[in-house]
Amino acid sequence: MPIEIIKKFFKLKSAAGILLLVSAIAAIFVENSFLSDSYSKFLHFSINIKISNFAIEKDLHHWINDGLMAIFFLLVGLEIKRELLQGHLSTREQFSLPAVAAIGGITIPAIIYISLNFGNEVTTNGWAIPTATDIAFALGVVTLLGNRVPISLKVTLVAIAIIDDLMAIIIIAAFYTSDLSINYLILAFISTSILFILNNRKINKLSLYIIVGILLWVFVLKSGIHASIAGVLLAQFIPINSKDSSSPSLLYKLEHSIEPWVNFIILPIFAFANAGVSFSGMKLNLLWDPVTLGIILGLFFGKQIGVMLFTYLGTILKICKLPSDISWSQYYGLSLVTGIGFTMSLFIGSLAFIEPEYQTSVRLGVLIASLLAGTFGYLTLRFTTKS
């Protein structure tokens, strides 16, 4: 009986979001319990790889953020490629609405955060934290409503989140890159060229792509660009067309093989490693800290304002239009749900700030904003839709 219950749980579309929430709560509990020191030692346990003069020396926390999250970004890259070429973003009409909404959902939160941190070079570096949407959590909230929510609204939400992720990847590459190593950049370019040749010759051996992809990850990691970019680059060269029309493509096979691992193992591990907020000695005035406040206001208010304002202007200018079965009140509920930042916001926060005091502000801001956005988004959709 317990095994059947577990199987039923993992078949739920909201299962990934629920696991993320449980992992985040577990991290907060452990961080504020007698296990706090063990939690810290566990995350800072050093794992080193040395081959002659070559070495990768990182603690477990960095292996999770730089290594496991590269697989997450590989999945994101595969989803983006599939949607742009064959899916819900493959035509201008399908692409225009989520693109306009995503641009608004990035621009306004960034403006709000920067306005609250203007003049402080250190804290201003976190401007991209409130611009992200967590697709697993957001879709999980909408899925809880079952058939009350039109399919087109779910599709629009996923499309917005995917374009949001694409922009987040560009932001990470452009603004959160450390000192560059030319030698490793050249090696990364050579690896990318090999992937291009494999794709161009329509080679369908996944093992070859994975081997070159691992080398690409190592070279990108050592180059100074964040290693997550390697996952996105690898995804762009995985063949999307199959030789035989009766069999699925290599991209489809890879996407569906790693999706459960990402949703049910990698993201919960990431949440457990990054969501631990210590309430010890925390004062109420931390809520008014420019970083915390910028993230809360950016995610909760900035996202909904940006998505609604840019979409409304887009419809007036005839750039985009709402699907016929979605009302503006339902779309407002969607705009609230896009304020659930969590995974990507925490990830960008780990890149923007190294200092522990800022990490506390980031985690607190992201958790509060995501909770508010999820709760009000759910309630709005609940009362604006019929079963």
pLDDT tens digits for range 149-186: 888 888 888 888 888 888 888 888 888 876 778 899 99
Give, rounded to a whole angstrom, the gap between the first and last alpha carbons of the chain.
31
Structure tokens at 124: 């201003």
**Residues 132, 348: contact at Cβ < 8 Å?**
yes
CB atoms under 10 Å from CB of 278, counted, come to: 16
Rounded Cα distance between 140 and 18, Å, is 7
Could you read off the pLDDT tens digit of each residue along the chain, which spans 387 residues?
467 766 776 676 667 778 888 888 899 899 899 989 999 899 889 888 888 778 888 889 889 988 898 998 898 889 888 888 887 777 888 789 999 999 999 999 999 999 999 988 889 999 999 998 887 788 778 877 777 788 888 888 888 888 888 888 888 888 887 677 889 999 999 999 999 999 998 888 999 999 999 999 999 988 888 788 899 899 999 998 877 777 788 999 999 999 889 888 998 898 898 888 777 766 777 788 999 999 999 999 999 999 999 999 999 999 988 888 889 999 999 999 999 988 889 889 988 888 777 888 898 999 999 999 999 999 999 888 776
Residue (of 178, 164, 172, 181) closest to 233 by Cα position: 172
What are residue 39's phi and psi, to 5 degrees?
-60, -45
Write out the two tokens for 349: 């926060």
Residue type for position 107: T
Residue type, 241: N
**CA–CA gap between residue 343 and residue 349 (Å, rounded):** 10
Q: What phi, psi does 298 have (nearest 5°)?
A: -65, -50
Q: What distance in Å separates the CA atoms of residue 97 and residue 53, rounded to the nearest whole number?
A: 51
Q: Which residues of 284-320 are buried (b: 16+ CB within 10 A; e: fewer)?
A: eebeebbbbbbbbbbbbbbbbbbbbbbbeebeeeeeb
Of 339, 338, 347, 354, nearest to 156 by C-alpha is 338
CATH of domain 2-177+226-384: 1.20.1530.10
